[in-house]
Amino acid sequence: MSRAWNDLHAHRSKLDGVTLRDLVRAPDRARDFVHTVGDFTVDLTRHLATPDTLTLLMALAREREVEAMRDAMFAGEPVNTTEGRAAMHMALRNCSDRPMQADGQDVMPGVRDVLRHMQSFCKSIHDGSWTGATDRRIENVVNIGIGGSDLGPVMATQALRPWWTSGIRAHFVSNVDPSHLADTLSSLDPETTLFIVASKTFGTQETLANAHAARRWVTEALGSDAVSKHFVAVSTNADRVRDFGIDTENMFGFWDWVGGRYSMWSAIGLSIAVAIGFDQFEAMLEGAYEIDQHFRDTPIETNIPVLLGLLDCWYRECWGCQSRAVLPYDQHLHRLPAYLQQLEMESNGKHVRIDGTEVTHGTAFVVWGEPGTNGQHSFHQMLHQGTTMVPCDFLVAAQSECPGSDDRQAMLLANCLAQSEALARGKTLDEVTADLAKTGLDDEQIRELAPHKVMPGNRPSTTMLYPRLDPTQLGRLIALYEHRVFVQGAVWGIDSFDQWGVELGKTLAGDILPGLTGDAASGDETTLRLVDHLNTLGQSRI
């Protein structure tokens, strides 16, 4: 283990007995642990960390060359080492005139061309000049994709629901389970429905299976000539797009240096732009650009993504934490935890370093969560009194986007702040005993009940505050998480941009599929037995 890690482990032992109750009362705590970008505030005061902890974490960042790796990423170097690619998603939201390089070329002219294409397409949908095969306006847009081609767009369109353009409804289909597409189409009219098929290679198995089913739905109602009026593609494979029946003039491209889980800023975000309007989509890009500038230019001592990423490594390595809860007190962010699961767990769920050697520490939290206040009535019990410490992210807007919210927004805010305080301070046996004594219970009843009401406290959390969840704030929030994940990977020495772990299951599924469609399957003994059993069950229903 390195010197920086050894110093952090030694420091960790000195924090035994230190409480968050005491830490939050320390002079100048807010000065060292509260940071802002514009009107977006990140409060780190409820972390099990002192100024000395931050100093040691900065030493770790410099030992692991986080700044140099960040600069290499922004310079367009192939930081995705196993695939020999740059990771230049920042170029997709570059709102300056600054060139951005990948493979030695400025990528910005191509990025701007695609954005202009997206803008023109959105205008044609919104002003009614794009019509379906029967000359009716488009009212419903269905995005067919999976993974990064679904999770980012569906999260963002749900987050920005109050900003949807009048007359356009967005839908998303990802699961190859037939019910997902069937349920989505059940209330739609083929004449007023447009499909966006999002697949870089136009060969993703689940996406193409759903796209072909959607095409049958359209052609059965409107004829085969209707495909070009009811389907567009986000892809780089013109031949496959053309073979499907989509006019390649309606194909929106992107590049190898755009990873799937970082692609909502690209043409993969076309469904977002259609839903909220291109101007608002650009506002989302501008918010992300602000965080890119902050991450690139701000000293690491006050750099929010760096601080968050280092604290993640601190809890993962020195405190043994294995999961982090994401708790948006904002119903419109109900898909954020699912989006972050891919961003973080696909990026950093690795067991080897960049050089191919085995890691000797934990990587990647299990990321999970639900919106507040719903979670308070389910899993918060474990957060408060369970035996596992789970760092939490609380996110909340000061203002509701919903008219007539009366006192419910204040109630939401109070609950958010109360949960983070309760996790930090807990409730001691003495405090519980004193409260129970006021209820009239006798001493024996108090002794029996009191231990069950004690809460250990010292459960760390981050609170993120913003005035309202508008496109700019959403852009800031997601870019912040992206760079936070990058910092984790840099510290752990892993490639945060490949995802080889998803390949084996896909390959095996291809081997097993024939056994479920009338031919011979391959697989181990258990798989073959289960295939036979499933075939029997399927026949019994018939």
77 within a domain of the structure (yes/no):
no
Cβ proximity of 399 and 466 under 8 Å? no
Which of 282, 312, 339 marks a domain boundary? 282
344 & 398 share domain: yes
Give the number of domains in the chain: 3
What percentage of residues in the chain have a pLDDT greater than 90?
A: 95
Asked if pLDDT for residue 539 goes beyond 90, the answer is no
- Of the pLDDT bands very low, low, confident and very high (cuts 50, 70, 90), residue 542 is very low
Model confidence at 406, pLDDT cuts 50, 70, 90, reads confident
**List 9, 351, 506, 533, catalytic entry:** 506
9 is catalytic: no
Q: In terms of domains, do 110 and 228 share one?
A: yes
Q: Give the pairing type, strands 392-397 and 323-329.
A: parallel
Instruction: Name the packing angle between helices 525-541 and 503-516 (round to 10°).
Output: 50
Q: How far apart are CA 111 and CA 102, in angstroms?
A: 12
pLDDT tens-place string over residues 109-138: 999 999 999 999 999 999 999 999 999 999
Is 274 a domain residue? yes
Q: What is the pLDDT of residues 322-365, one digit of tens each?
A: 999 999 999 999 999 999 999 999 999 999 999 999 998 899 99
Q: What is the mean pLDDT of residues 66-78?
A: 97
Computed over every residue of the chain, the mean pLDDT equals 96
> What is the band of 521 on the pLDDT scale with cuts at 50, 70, 90?
confident
Same domain? For 203 and 249 the reply is yes
Q: What is the pLDDT of residue 541?
A: 54
- The reply to whether 351 falls in a domain is yes
* In-domain check, residue 465: yes
Together in a domain, 322 and 395:
yes
Judge whether 296 and 472 are in contact, CB under 8 Å. Answer: no
Question: What residues contact 251, with CB distance under 8 A and at least 6 apart?
Answer: 232, 233, 234, 235, 238, 241
In degrees rounded to 5, what are phi and psi of residue 341? -60, -45
| Whether 241 and 317 share a structural domain | no
Say yes or no: 484 and 361 in one domain. Answer: yes
pLDDT higher than 90, residue 1: no
Residue 377 a catalytic site member: yes
* Residue 81 resides in a domain: no
- Residue located via tokens 């283990």: 1
pTM recorded for the entire structure: 0.96
Say how far apart CA 55 and CA 4 lie, in whole Å.
10
Looking at the structure, tell me whether residues 163 and 239 fall in a common domain: yes
How far apart are the C-alpha atoms of 284 and 280, rounded to whole Å?
6
Gyration radius from the chain CA atoms: 26
Q: Which amino acid is at 285?
A: L
Question: Domain check: are 305 and 414 in the same one?
Answer: yes
Task: Please indicate whether residue 439 or residue 166 has the higher confidence score (pLDDT).
Answer: 439
Q: Which of 346, 370, 380, 483 is catalytic?
A: 346
Specify which residues 141 forms β-bridges with.
170, 194
481: pLDDT confidence band, cut at 50, 70 and 90?
A: very high
Residue 454 lies in a domain: no
Among 282, 315, 338, identify where a domain stops.
282
CATH code where residue 257 lies: 3.40.50.10490
Q: Which residue spans within 298-420 are E strands per DSSP?
A: 323-329, 366-368, 392-397
pLDDT exceeds 70 at position 540: no
pLDDT at 170: 97
Give 236-270 pLDDT, tens digit per residue.
999 999 999 999 999 999 999 999 999 999 999 99
Whether 148 and 236 share a structural domain: yes
Same-domain status, 145 and 195: yes
Check: CB of residue 339 under 8 Å from CB of residue 153.
no
- Report which DSSP code applies to 101: E
Catalytic residue among 377, 438, 452, 525: 377
Q: Which residues contact 397 (CB under 8 A, 6 or more apart)?
A: 330, 465, 466, 467, 468, 469, 473
Residue 210 is predicted with a pLDDT of 98
Burial class (CB in 10 A: 0-12, 13-18, 19+), 456: middle
Residue 32 is assigned to a structural domain of this protein: yes
The pLDDT, as a whole number, for residue 163 is 95
List the domain range (segments joined by +) for residue 470.
Answer: 3-63+298-425+459-498
Together in a domain, 105 and 242: yes
Mean pLDDT of 91-99: 97
Q: Is residue 71 part of a domain?
A: no
Same domain for 261 and 141? yes
